[in-house]
């Protein structure tokens, strides 16, 4: 079975800017895959080349085994992209926009599927409302519907919850999870790292147009992140050098100290006691993807 997405040796330069510097990546069919990186890392450029909106300088990109250049019709049909920007035609209602989008793919009499998408995204009441009259969150949902109207097996979501309130975000992820359970391949870019951590089974991190980390979410958390001991002291104290080296955050009397094994907690507490610290509150925090992200970006 061919991968849902195959990217091999892809480069892209915009004059003096090397946006992509040899990206190699495969996403298996049915995966929920995360593509993370700081601003300017090349995420949107990579998505644009995959969708045919930009042309790679070298390398190959395939969607469901179809080359995006030489077999572009089949590649476009297999891919749905939700863009980062709120791009829409202000002259049409939501339903009209979806009918027009269906026509771009040669699909007629698509109203039953359009109704199902609108219902799943809680847009039924907005079907006949002009796009420009929708709130930012509802426009974002409408763009998700637009990407799904031709039933693509691969869906790329570029910052889909930017500017979306908590309730809408929750409903959107319920629907996206259902699509993934039904067999759709999902590729997500997001700056909400907690979303990527909870949703994505595997993650690639980009920096300066290169993949600098690629593994399962669980393995990344294990390799790059550490547990932390969060303590609140009755008063600030001067810590010995060895103990101070384990402090990852200090805000007056609130400290976070990193540790690898739970057996290390006793030593940390003993060190604090020896320094004359009086602990008034304590908690143990779990590793999170933010620690991984910062660690990977600083390492490479």
Pair (63, 128) in one structural domain: yes
Structure token pair of residue 67: 């080359």
Question: Does residue 296 lie in a domain region?
Answer: no
Residue burial 57-72, b: 16+ Cβ < 10 Å; e: rest? eebebbbbebebeeee
Q: Share the mean pLDDT of the chain.
A: 89
Tally of domains in the chain = 2
133 with 167: CB under 8 angstroms? no
* Mean pLDDT along residues 243-250: 83
What are the φ/ψ torsions at residue 299 (nearest 5 degrees)? -80, -35
- Note down the domain range covering 276: 227-286
Q: Got the DSSP string for 64-107?
A: TTEETTTTHHHHHHTEEEE-SS----TTSBHHHHHHHHHHHTT-
pLDDT over 90 at 136, yes or no: no
Q: Residue 230 and residue 226: Cα distance in Å, rounded? A: 13
Identify any residues that bridge with 281 across adjacent strands, giving them in sequence order.
Answer: 232
Would you state the torsion angle of the CA atoms of residues 169, 173, 179, 180, taken in this order, to the nearest 10 degrees? 150
What is the reported pLDDT for 225?
61
Pair (182, 102) in one structural domain: yes
Q: Residue 66 and residue 54: Cα distance in Å, rounded? A: 17
Question: Does residue 291 lie in a domain region?
Answer: no
Pair (120, 252) in one structural domain: no
Pair (50, 182) in one structural domain: yes
What is the reported pLDDT for 290?
79
* Mean pLDDT along residues 90-108: 93
Question: Does residue 214 lie in a domain region?
Answer: yes
Q: What's the pLDDT band for 293 if we cut at 50, 70, 90? A: confident
Dihedral class, residue 64 (left if φ above 0, else alpha if ψ from -120 to 50, else beta): left
Q: For the domain that residue 37 is a member of, what is the CATH number? A: 3.40.50.300
């Amino acid at each position: 079975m061919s991968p849902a997405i195959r990217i091999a040796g892809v480069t892209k330069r915009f004059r003096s800017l090397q946006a992509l510097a040899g990206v190699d990546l495969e996403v298996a069919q049915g995966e929920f895959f995360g593509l993370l990186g700081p601003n300017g890392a090349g995420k949107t450029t990579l998505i644009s080349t995959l969708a045919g909106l930009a042309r790679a300088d070298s390398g190959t990109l395939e969607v469901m085994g179809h080359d995006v250049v030489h077999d572009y019709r089949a590649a476009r049909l297999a891919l749905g992209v939700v863009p980062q920007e709120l791009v829409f035609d202000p002259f049409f209602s939501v339903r009209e926009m979806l009918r027009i989008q269906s026509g771009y793919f040669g699909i007629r009499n698509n109203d039953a599927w359009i109704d199902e998408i609108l219902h799943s995204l809680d847009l039924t009441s907005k079907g006949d409302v002009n796009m420009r009259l929708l709130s930012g969150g509802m426009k974002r949902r409408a763009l998700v519907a637009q990407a799904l109207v031709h039933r693509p097996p691969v869906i790329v979501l570029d910052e889909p919850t930017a500017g979306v309130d908590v309730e809408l975000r929750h409903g959107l992820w319920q629907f996206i999870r259902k699509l993934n359970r039904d067999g759709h391949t999902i590729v997500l870019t997001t700056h909400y790292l907690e979303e990527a951590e909870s949703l994505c089974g595997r993650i690639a991190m980009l920096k300066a147009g290169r993949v600098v980390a690629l593994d399962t979410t669980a393995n990344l958390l294990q390799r790059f992140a550490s547990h932390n001991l969060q303590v609140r002291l009755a008063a600030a104290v001067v810590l010995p050098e060895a103990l101070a080296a384990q402090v990852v955050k200090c805000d007056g009397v609130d400290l976070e100290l990193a540790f690898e094994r739970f057996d290390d907690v006793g030593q940390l507490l003993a060190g604090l006691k020896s320094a004359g610290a009086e602990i008034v509150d304590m908690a143990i925090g779990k590793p999170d993807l933010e620690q991984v992200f910062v660690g990977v970006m600083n390492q490479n």
